[in-house]
Amino acid sequence: MSYTTEQIKQGIKLHCIDTNKFKTNLMSVIITLPLNREKVTFDTVIPAVLKRGTTKLKTQEEIAKKLENMYGASFDCGIEKIGDNHVIKFYLESLNDNFIPQNKNTSILKQSIDLLLDIILNPFTENDKFKNEYVETEKNNIKLLIESKIDNKDQYALNRCIEEMYKDKPYGLYKYGYTEDLDKINSQNLYDYYLELLNTCKIDILISGDLNKEKVTDIIKNNENVKSLKERKPNNIVNNEQTENKEIVQEKEIEEKMDIGQGKLVIGMDVNINDYNSKFPVSIYNVILGESATSKLFQNVREKASLAYTARSNYVRQKNNIYIRCGIEIENYKKALKIIKEQLEDMKNGKFKEEDLENAKKYMISGLQSVQDEQDSEITY
């Protein structure tokens, strides 16, 4: 596997992951922009509307037929919150040209790149704005998506913890936006905002597969949609440990009551180490604390004390936070919290074995090596 990157235009980069492990090519276009309370819901509606049709293929049915004719290629899109950025992702997976009948006039790679870029950069419009029917339908779909966030209690509890820790700050925003903002969105102002994004956001084009880099670069540079893009100075936020100057805050407890059998306990912690290289020991610390099946949280809270159905922790490097997450019987809250704090105190006092350290390193190395087993994981990494 080899990885190369090339600037197509200022603010627009092409990344090629050349690997012969797969029979498919996976193409992704990633649009990165700062999280903003006024626009966070707009960001969510945009990819939902873009997937509905292009200038050439005006409906989802036509796009589906095109994908089927490309030996069953598949398309998807979504949105993530990474650090203080909103990240809009578009994916198209198709069979590598090495595995289709040879035809000099057919290149699935070129068709795939052109189609993906067409969906993103050449959307179907009516009277110089998005089609009203598409916008209203997707607004209703997103309303249902936002309203259903409480259905996944584990994720809901984590989101609420982040909201409290980052109140009135970008990272505290819900990635899918807010239902009260949907009424403000119409086909005209959404299209105007979309055009603004195309001129200002950071764009990364990633392609994984058994590639001829020169051929891929040529296809991208000669694509009419890419040619029309302007150079830009991206306004995305570069998060790392050095940018996160944490204020010391008092411990705060938030309780929400619902008519449910299992409680969700989330503890959000700031890592007050203002050094970029701290991400390496902090990652190891987190594995020993709660990320793996041999971790202190899993072994002591779940296995030995039987106080939790799940007990784990995760490290969010971009914001320098560790989140402890447990599914507990509500009446066991105090007991579980006491044992969790004991594990934190043990870590603070160095009460872990050399074997724990070595197991954590092996766990992380194994995780990094497995990144190459799936194209999606590789591109995301």
Condensed to tens digits (0 to 9), the pLDDT of residues 117-144 reads 999 999 999 999 999 999 999 999 999 9
CA 305 to chain CA mean position, Å? 35
**Residue 231 tokens, joined:** 């150079």
d(CA 306, CA 308): 6
Which of 316, 303, 305 shows the shortest CA–CA distance to 266? 316
Q: DSSP string spanning 223-266?
A: -HHHHHPPP---------GGG--PPP----------S-SEEEEE
Q: DSSP string spanning 92-151?
A: EEEE-GGGS---TT--HHHHHHHHHHHHHHSB-BSSSSB-HHHHHHHHHHHHHHHHGGGG
Condensed to tens digits (0 to 9), the pLDDT of residues 288-331 reads 999 999 999 999 999 999 999 999 999 998 898 999 999 999 99
Condensed to tens digits (0 to 9), the pLDDT of residues 229-288 reads 999 998 888 876 555 666 777 888 999 988 887 899 999 999 988 777 888 999 999 999
Q: Which residues contact 85 (CB under 8 A, 6 or more apart)?
A: 32, 33, 34, 35, 236, 237, 239
Condensed to tens digits (0 to 9), the pLDDT of residues 344-364 reads 999 999 999 999 999 999 999
Q: Which residues contact 37 (CB under 8 A, 6 or more apart)?
A: 170, 173
Which of 284, 278, 267, 270 shows the shortest CA–CA distance to 323? 267
Condensed to tens digits (0 to 9), the pLDDT of residues 149-192 reads 999 999 999 999 999 999 999 999 999 999 999 999 999 999 99
Q: What is the pLDDT of residue 240?
A: 63
Burial bucket for residue 133 (CB in 10 Å: 0-12, 13-18, 19+): exposed
d(CA 171, CA 69): 41
For 35-44, 109-118, 141-150, 239-248, which range has the lowest pLDDT when averaged over its residues? 239-248
Confidence of residue 103 (pLDDT cuts 50, 70, 90): low
Main-chain dihedrals φ then ψ at residue 77, nearest 5 degrees: -150, 165
| 106/217: higher pLDDT | 217
